[in-house]
Amino acid sequence: MADLPQQGQPLPQMDLTAEDGGHVGTEDLTGQKTVLYFYPKDDTPGCTKEACAFRDRMGDYGEAGIKVYGVSLDSPESHRAFREKYGLNFPLLTDEGGRAAETLGILRDNGEVANRVTFLLTADGNVARVYPEVSPETHADEILEDAHSI
C-alpha cells in the first residue's frame, strides 16, 4: 500500500461510480465538509454496523452541513440492495477496479480495500483528518465531533 494522503493535502483525483450510473469525482467533493468512508463489503456485520451508525446520525450530519459517502469495490447493484435493506440515507459509491483505493494508498496487494479508512475533507476538498482504523460502532459519532473543529 502507498502512503495515505496527509492532513492539509488535497484529495487526489478520482472517479467513483454512483448507484444510478453517474460519476462522483474529486471536484464533486467540495463546497461543504465531506466524509468519504471506505469499507470492505456490503451487507457484512461490521460494514452494516458502520453504515447504520451513519444512517442514524444523518440528521446531525445534515444540520452540520456535512455530506457523507460510503465507498467500496462492490457493484452499484450490490449498493442499491444494501441501501434498500437497511434504509441507508446517504450515497454509496463504487470504486471500479479499486483505482481510487489504490490512489489513496488503501488497496491491499490482494486487490481488496484495507479494513476501514475514512477521510474527513474540508469544504475546499483538502484532507482534514484521516482515520486509518475505525470502530464501526462509534465511528460516525467520532467523525461528527471532529468535523465541528475543522
What are the residue boundaries of the structural domains of the chain, listed by start? 15-147
Q: Of 40-44, 67-71, 146-150, which range is least confident?
A: 146-150
- pLDDT above 90 covers what percent of the chain? 73
| Predicted confidence band of residue 7 (pLDDT cuts 50, 70, 90) | confident
- pLDDT above 70 covers what percent of the chain? 98
Return the CATH fold of 15-147: Glutaredoxin (3.40.30)
Active-site residue flag, 52: no
The answer to whether 115 touches 41, Cβ cutoff 8 Å, is: no
Supply the pLDDT for residue 2: 56
Q: What are phi and psi of 53, to 5 degrees?
A: -65, -40
Q: Of 29, 47, 92, 140, which is the active-site residue?
A: 47
pTM reported for the whole predicted model: 0.93
DSSP 13-78: P-EEEETTS-EEEGGGG-SSEEEEEE-S-TTSHHHHHHHHHHHHHHHHHHHTTEEEEEEESS-HHH
